Amino acid sequence: MSRKDNGQSSNGKRARADEASVERPSVGSVTLSDVARLAGVGTTTVSRALNHPDQVAQKTLKKVNQAIELTGYVPNQIAGALASRRSHLIAAIIPSISNTVYAETIKHFSKILRDSGYQVLLGETDYLEDQEETLVRTVLSRKPDGIFFIGINHTAICRRQLLVANIPVVETWDLTKTPLDMVVGFSHEEVGKAIAEYLLEKKISRVGSIWALDHRAQLRRKGFLETLAFHGINSKYVCDVSVPTNFGQGREGLTRLINEGFNGGAVVCSSDTIAHGVLAEAQTRGLRVPEEMAVTGFGDQTFAPFTNPSLTTVKFDRELIGRRAAEVLLARINDEKIEEYIIDVGFEIIERKST
């Protein structure tokens, strides 16, 4: 029969302390012993109250919790992780915290993990592989139970560190036949091909484009330009912009294309934010969209249906990526069978009035 801890020490005597005489420590970190002394119980009882509260008498549990609240004690999770081999920490490494397109994925990824007893530590690479390498090294020293990435490109050193660490890893927002462990996303090169084919179906052959200088946008650019070239179209009006993208880059990008000789057809943009800027610049110049110039974006952000005119764009399920990434990561952590290590969530072109 199980027996609840009532706070008595091993010699049968309650380890009482005069609560009035115990003061909150003024220097140094609060320890488990400080909490035990204030609560009038042994350290084993405090440990059990933290890890298995159902095994501690309610009266004793109340005293321990009051002592924890009074002292501000924070349990040493690293020590617990060493004992259990679980840190209940998941690292999420993303290119930018200022780019809102990633927020929905992270939100749904984090919720599933929180509901499963894990906390998510967020790290930003600023689109730099060297920064990611440094961040991964730091994160691995904290012994996370798993790592989530947006993106599949890593330095050779980073890949080696992750493989040696031998922990579950899920890469997202892209596809590869050779993931580090698991990948949940879609093909950016196929997105580029689909946009080109969409414009060709509309008999639009004069095209300018504005692309962010990040790996995924450049894959879309590659698929787009190669598809046009396959159909005998040489699109020389191409503009690259830095990341993260912003509204002003769309206005400046269209200005550059026009200065280089572009005078109508379609402008393909690597993000909805850039496309929004292009629409604004076109309006300022008196260019009618889509009659004189069609515009496409990427991402189907919340403002896309409400631009003037509404923006044709590429939609993919950011929520689904977050949920599936969390599910497969948890399955790997728990040594459950995984049916798919490469998960393609697909995409679709949402046609609106800008084309």
What does 188-245 look like in DSSP terms, one character per residue? HHHHHHHHHHHHHHTT---EEEEEESSHHHHHHHHHHHHHHHHTT----EEEEE-SS-
* Phi, psi (rounded to 5 degrees) for 57: -60, 145
Secondary structure in 3-state letters for 36-100:
HHHHCCCHHHHHHHHHCHHHECHHHHHHHHHHHHHHCCCCCHHHHHHHHCCCCEEEEEECCCCCH
Q: Are strands 237-241 and 207-212 parallel, antiparallel or unpaired?
A: parallel
Tokens of 256: 């550059």
Q: Which domains does the chain have, with CATH numbers?
A: 19-75 (1.10.260.40), 83-186+319-347 (3.40.50.2300), 188-315 (3.40.50.2300)
Residues 6 or more apart from 288 whose CB is under 8 A from it?
Answer: 282
What's the pLDDT score for residue 22? Answer: 42
**Residues 204-240 pLDDT 10s:** 999 999 999 999 999 999 999 999 999 999 999 999 9
pTM for the predicted model, two decimal places:
0.79
**Residues 169-180 pLDDT 10s:** 999 999 999 999
Average pLDDT, whole number, for the chain?
Answer: 90
- Mean pLDDT across 321-335: 97
**In the predicted structure, residue 335 carries a pLDDT above the cut 50:** yes
Residue bearing the bigger pLDDT, 237 or 141: 237
Residue bearing the bigger pLDDT, 281 or 2: 281
CA distance 93 to 83: 26
**In the predicted structure, residue 274 carries a pLDDT above the cut 90:** yes
What's the pLDDT score for residue 23? Answer: 46
Residue bearing the bigger pLDDT, 23 or 52: 52
CA distance 97 to 289: 32
Strand-pairing partners, residue 342, are 183
What's the pLDDT score for residue 80? Answer: 56
Continuous segment of H or E residues that includes residue 27: none
